Structure 1
Amino acid sequence: MTWLNETIRGRHISLTTFRGNGRPVPTPVGFVVDGDELFVLTARDSGKIKRLRNNTSVVVSPCDGRGRIAEGAPSTRGTARLLDETETARVRRLMSRRYPAARLVFWWNRFRGDRDRWVGIEVTP
């Protein structure tokens, strides 16, 4: 997929979701690519989840960790899909490989009995 070529260069992407009134809400997030698939993890109670339940349209752009998008950076419109528990577990494993510190976060959530805290999101063009 050529849309991933520019996006996967960094460690973060800006995932823009849309409120019910159409107003965009950009959020810098970590991501992982597996083959042709782009995945994000987010907390189950995050605003992204609420917005994606109402509108699956997203815009993906490369950014830095603070969400700053470089001038002229490519943006791609896409569709997001919330993943089930099995698919989310796969994304957690992939994220742990890409972001080693994530292992500690996932371990802490398991220790606290909060394993269901995360929801995977798949983004397709």
Structure 2
Amino acid sequence: MSVPAPIARARYASVTTYRRDGRPVPTPVGVVADAGELFVLTERTSGKVKRIRYNATVTVTPCDMSGRVAADAPMVRGQARLLDREGTARVRRLMSRRFPISRLVFAADLLLRRRDRRIGIAISL
């Protein structure tokens, strides 16, 4: 299934991951759609990465930068997967195009030798 248009157009989405006990944890993140999937870039040690390792089921809803979801926003269930180094590099390039300011963050990571600090997440909806 491809990414629904309202989510593909959104700059931000609330990605809900699930704790071991089933409680949902919504997190607003910058997203980019490409090749029928949705991509996110996050810190490798973040809670969402730990939760995805345990349970790959996620829910995605377009939101604003603060995580506010419109009443009529679509909600779509999907499966997340953590990407390898090559996949993460691809997500970094996609994010750089969509969010030019992110280039500063990525440059700082390079200068501080923290290139592996972030990991890409692909979400199939």
TM-score, with length taken from structure 1: 0.96
Q: Distance in 1 between matches of 2:116 and 2:9?
A: 30
What pairs with 1:2-13 in structure 2 (closer than 5 Å)? 3-13=3-13
Matched-pair identity in %: 56
Whether 1:38 aligns to 2:38 is yes
The alpha carbon displacement at 1:72 in A equals 1.9
Give secondary structure in 2 for the equivalent of 1:100. Answer: coil
Aligned partners of 1:3 and 1:76 also within 8 Å? no
**Aligned match of 1:119:** 119
Q: Are the equivalent residues in 1 in contact too, given 2:3–2:33 (CA < 8 A)?
A: no
User: What is the CA RMSD across the aligned residues, in angstroms?
Assistant: 1.0
Letter in 1 for 2:43: A
Could you list the runs of 5+ residues in structure 2 that have no partner in the other structure?
none
Report the counterpart of residue 55 of structure 1 in structure 2: 55
**Is residue 85 of structure 1 aligned with residue 85 of structure 2?**
yes
Cα displacement string for residues 27-47 of structure 1 (whole angstroms, at most 9, x for unaligned residues): 000011112121000000100
Taking structure 2 as the reference length, the TM-score comes to: 0.96
Q: Which position in structure 1 is the counterpart of 2:17?
A: 17
Runs of 4+ in 1 over 2 A off after TM superposition: 1-4
